[in-house]
């Protein structure tokens, strides 16, 4: 009889332990809504040169070790984040015609820390009372096609201190125009970021977030026979110039910011399209 009681006790203990393991496994699963579902990232340390790691799309610039950077690969864009300025050196992405619209909106989203960057980054306190708005580099308007892309566009690693007049004015017009070009050409390759004319720059907040003097956006689009490219530089203030007056060849922008843009283009194509603007391709005033 004792033998059977002992066997029964063993069975009970095994069943109890098994139940607790299953319960513990279930308890470890968190419930996420569609905007904050955890995702895998391919983020690299500052010391690793991203250019040497993998083959790029056409939108990725070559840094050539001029700027300190930490590369963050997101759902829809790539960030070269500078730990000294605490803003991106650049943000790059491809925008297709299909991605210019979608069901996801920015409703209920606010800027938040990037969970995949362990270094110092801006926060709400840096911008509060600074006189500058939190300006997207990869705009939320280009992320309507995907919930994760929309969420990640609100990370502080994707924004810069931007004058409200620019953010709501000419810069917004350029973002809308970029979506039009994506529809027209089927896709555009976009590189965007800050411009610093001198090392002594204004910094805001307790983290010392650098305020750029201007903002740039460079675009590359496929045509029937080749590619066409254009760049824009807009001062970080009330930009009163026309969009056409803000446009410059990509070569001029490269000299200004110290980056080789669209560096994966063959050299012959690169030289022919980056030195001039074919105005008929862009139809701006």
CB contact set of 11 (below 8 Å; sequence gap of 6+):
none
* DSSP tally for the chain: helices H, then strands E: 9, 11
Q: Catalytic site residue 213? A: no
How far apart, in whole angstroms, are the C-alpha atoms of residue 267 and residue 217?
21
Euclidean distance between CA atoms 96 and 184, whole angstroms? 10
Q: What share of the chain is helix, strand, coil (3-state, %, to 5)?
A: 35, 25, 45
Q: How far apart are CA 124 and CA 206, in angstroms?
A: 11
Q: List alpha helices for 28-154, DSSP H.
A: 124-127, 147-152
Question: Exposure of 49 by Cβ count < 10 A (0-12 exposed, 13-18 middle, 19+ buried)?
Answer: middle
The active-site residue out of 41, 124, 136, 213 is 136
DSSP 3-state assignment of 132? strand
| Catalytic residue list | 136
């Amino acid at each position: 009889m004792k033998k059977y009681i002992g066997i029964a006790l063993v069975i009970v203990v095994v069943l109890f332990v098994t139940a607790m393991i299953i319960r513990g496994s279930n308890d470890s699963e968190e419930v996420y809504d569609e905007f904050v579902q955890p995702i895998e990232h391919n983020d690299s340390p500052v010391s690793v040169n991203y250019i040497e790691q993998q083959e790029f799309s056409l939108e990725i610039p070559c840094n050539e070790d001029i700027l300190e950077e930490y590369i963050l690969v997101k759902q829809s864009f790539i960030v070269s984040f500078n730990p000294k300025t605490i803003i991106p050196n650049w943000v790059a992405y491809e925008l297709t015609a299909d991605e210019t619209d979608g069901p996801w909106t920015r409703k209920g989203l606010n800027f938040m820390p990037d969970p995949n960057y362990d270094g110092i980054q801006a926060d709400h306190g840096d911008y509060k009372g600074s006189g500058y708005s939190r300006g997207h580099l990869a705009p939320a308007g280009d992320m309507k096609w995907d919930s994760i892309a929309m969420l990640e566009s609100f990370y502080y690693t994707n924004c810069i201190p931007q004058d409200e007049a620019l953010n709501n004015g000419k810069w917004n017009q350029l973002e809308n125009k970029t979506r039009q070009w994506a529809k027209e050409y089927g896709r555009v390759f976009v590189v965007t970021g800050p411009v610093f004319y001198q090392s002594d720059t204004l910094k805001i907040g307790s983290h010392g977030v650098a305020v750029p003097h201007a903002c740039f956006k460079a675009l590359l689009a496929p045509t029937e026979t080749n590619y066409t490219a254009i760049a824009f530089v807009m001062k970080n203030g009330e930009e009163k110039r026309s969009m056409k007056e803000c446009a410059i060849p990509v070569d001029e922008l490269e000299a200004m910011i110290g980056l080789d843009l669209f560096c994966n283009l063959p050299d012959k194509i690169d030289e022919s399209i980056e030195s001039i603007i074919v105005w008929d391709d862009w139809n701006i005033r």
